[in-house]
Amino acid sequence: MEKYEKIKVVGRGAFGIVHLCRRRSDGAFVILKEIPVEQMSRDERLAAQNECQVLKLLNHPNIIEYYENFLEDKALMIVMEYAPGGTLADYIQKRCNSLLDEDTILHFFVQILLALYHVHNKFILHRDLKTQNILLDKHQMIVKIGDFGISKILVSKSKAYTVVGTPCYISPELCEGKPYNQKSDIWALGCVLYELASLKRAFEAANLPALVLKIMSGTFAPISDRYSPELRQLILNMLNLDPSKRPQLNEIMALPICIRPLLNLYTDIGNVKMRRIEKPLSTVQPGRQGRPGGRVPTIRSRDGTISLGSGKVHSLPLSSVYTWGNGISSPLRLPMLNTEVLQVSLGRTQKMGVTKSGRLITWEAPSVGSGEVSLPGAVEQMQPQFISRFLEGQSGVTIKSVSCGDLFTTCMTDRGIIMTFGSGSNGCLGHGNFNDVTQPKIVEALLGYELIQVSCGASHVLAVTNEREVFAWGRGENGRLGLGTQDTHNSPQQVCLPVEFEANRVVCGVDCSIIISSQYSILACGSNRFNKLGLDTITTGEEPNPSNQVEEVHSYRPIQSEPLCSERIVHIDIGTAHSVAVTEKGQCFTFGSNQHGQIGCSSRRSSRVPYQVPDLQGISMAACGDAFTLAIGSEGEVYTWGKGARGRLGRKEEDCGIPKALQLDESHPYVVTSVACFNGNSLLAVKPLLEEAALR
């Protein structure tokens, strides 16, 4: 043992102790199986020798690597590769009934498939394939098959008669005492695939006789209908009672459902870190600039394409998403995954969307260092080529909405459950701690409530329930949580509201919060700098005297600035130092700082009085960035004004105090479905809209 330093015992196998060790020569972690051969029966010694013999024959990236074996202190020591990601069984158990998406299932499955194909090509049967014997690397993306203690080496193409293996994975022919060959491993592989798709075993029972009856009948619960018919059929074929009707491994590998994940494996397997697999990406180069507004005369054909005035025919996209700001000076169409995006949200680093099918989609710019180096002070930059992917970890649930904070994200399911992930600083994930979480995790403290809406500030969150209760958590500075203090909370706290106030919608700013009731009354708390919350007492349209000005409140109080407190406000958003509100009549009001013209008047007037933006009528929604404003007209027009640096306004222009229409690269009529701003960035989703005349 001079070559290895024992760290700890990590398990006890069928015939010995399993140690985690450090190899002294290079500091690498390895697994050492200590098998006390002198205390074993002849059959047990043969099994130990068999594992060494089998491991020596195998050399595959998806099989635990064998290093060496030696005798010490009357024990056989087998040294092999360490897989720090735990077992596939543990991975499945931690899903907590949140189904994996099909891409992830197939990503794991094809690796097991390749490993088993290598094993069978060596005329070896694994004979104990199960999720407990399938290990994962530290990133939980690379699969490693292990535990060959009872594998059978077939010196000829014979059949093995010994009945071994874990009962839940035993094939029908073993239950009947019939001989089997490689087709029994394929049955077990089918059981593993079923477990990946349903997060439970295909065959389970209270006792062995009942289990045998279940296996012999070949009946098991169907997998979720969210999965493709091809996946369901593959499981049925592998779990066929007749071994001769089960597919060969090479036949499975040739199936269309397996070809793409196999090709993706060969593309990515060389990357040690092995990032999560992504769907095929479509990149869209910025095209010609379209006209402002959303209406273009069209005629729709019977096959679903649309004809433009030019006579060209284009297929109708499900939706388009644009981004600008942060150095992108004109709207850049983001790549889509052949899906319709209904709602979008922005954080400091996140660009997120919710699809019509209830999935989270994210857009990511290439990592730093992957492109050309830009010189200090450079203004003109190449348009970045974003990639899109569906977010892992929220399969099995339908996402209804998403909201992004500074470095964290919240999403809400169609059943009113809140999930959060990202940075846990300031307790903004609501999990009762300050830990980071990489994949969506349920906020357990709210499981007894049905949430209808959630909003993120930079470092705090508000959520409203169907019973009109409001919960807040995260950073408490400036009294932004509305709990009467400036304390930070890492779990949801119920907000005290007036008895008659029926909360309907919540909005979080950087350092403040707003609640809109179903009766259109508005409460606000936190920083009221520049009167960005409308808490100053203003009745005549004149500047409030100092006694009527409010700088900060720690509990919710009604807004007091006319005309906001008398208009029916249906939409509101808060920027860094200003806000925008849209009335039921489609009027647009701005209030707060006007340092960069974000209020929308031609002058740089500094006023605490709310301002109605002239010439903007029929506004349906609006959003605020750090020092700019965006509004959407009834005809799909996109107006921006305020600070223009680094492309904030979607055009090459410095500060502009007058709303101007933005041009999107759309050749067909569209409606804006969602818009979001964060700091100096914007994200906007549109979908095709055909005029009534064109449908007739």
pLDDT tens profile 322-341: 999 988 999 999 988 788 99
Q: What are phi and psi of 651, to 5 degrees?
A: -155, 160
Q: 518: Cβ–Cβ under 8 A, 6 or more apart, which residues?
A: 468, 502, 503, 504
Whether the pLDDT of residue 164 is over 90: the answer is: no
Could you tell me which residues are annotated as the binding site for ATP? 33
Question: pLDDT value at position 635?
Answer: 85
Mean per-residue pLDDT, 11-24:
80
pLDDT tens profile 346-389: 999 899 999 988 889 999 876 543 333 333 343 444 566 788 88
Domains, the chain, in order of start with CATH, read 4-81 (3.30.200.20), 86-153+165-266 (1.10.510.10), 317-346+351-365+385-394+567-689 (2.130.10.30), 405-519+539-557 (2.130.10.30)
Alpha-carbon distance of 136 to 64, in angstroms, equals 10
Question: Could you tell me the pLDDT band of residue 279, with boundaries at 50, 70 and 90?
Answer: very low
Question: pLDDT value at position 315?
Answer: 61
Identify which of 574, 568, 551, 570 has the alpha carbon closest to the alpha carbon of residue 462. 574
Q: Are 310 and 299 in contact (CB under 8 A)?
A: no
Most confident residue range from 294-303, 468-477, 664-673: 468-477
Question: Could you tell me the pLDDT band of residue 692, with boundaries at 50, 70 and 90?
Answer: very low
pLDDT tens profile 611-637: 999 989 899 999 999 999 999 998 889
Within 10 Å of residue 90's Cβ, how many Cβ atoms? Answer: 14
Q: Are 520 and 568 in contact (CB under 8 A)?
A: yes
Question: pLDDT value at position 380?
Answer: 41
Identify which of 241, 252, 141 has the alpha carbon closest to the alpha carbon of residue 193. 252
Helix/strand/coil for 32: strand
- Tell me the residue type at 118: H
Most confident residue range from 50-54, 143-147, 547-551, 652-656: 547-551
Identify which of 664, 689, 634 has the alpha carbon closest to the alpha carbon of residue 298. 689
Whether the pLDDT of residue 282 is over 50: the answer is: no
What is the Cα 72 distance to its own chain's centre? 49
Whether the pLDDT of residue 123 is over 80: the answer is: no
pLDDT tens profile 206-216: 777 778 888 88
The catalytic site residues sit at 128
Q: Which of 121-130, 260-269, 270-279, 643-652 has the lowest mean pLDDT?
A: 270-279
- CA distances (Å), origin 679, targets 221, 276, 305: 49, 29, 38
Most confident residue range from 56-65, 442-451, 654-663: 654-663
| b/e code 239-250 from CB counts within 10 Å (16+ = b) | bbeebeebbebe
Identify which of 626, 622, 541 has the alpha carbon closest to the alpha carbon of residue 578. 626
Question: pLDDT value at position 45?
Answer: 64
Question: pLDDT value at position 265?
Answer: 75
Question: pLDDT value at position 264?
Answer: 79
Q: What are phi and psi of 219, to 5 degrees?
A: -105, 135
Whether the pLDDT of residue 610 is over 70: the answer is: yes
Q: Are 420 and 407 in contact (CB under 8 A)?
A: no
Question: pLDDT value at position 612?
Answer: 94
Helix/strand/coil for 555: strand
pTM: 0.58
Average pLDDT in the chain: 82
Could you tell me which residues are annotated as the binding site? 33
- Tell me the residue type at 104: T
Question: pLDDT value at position 318?
Answer: 84
Question: pLDDT value at position 366?
Answer: 62
Among residues of the chain, what percentage have pLDDT more than 90? 48
Query: For 89-216, where are the E strands, in sequence order?
Result: 124-125, 134-136, 143-145, 152-153
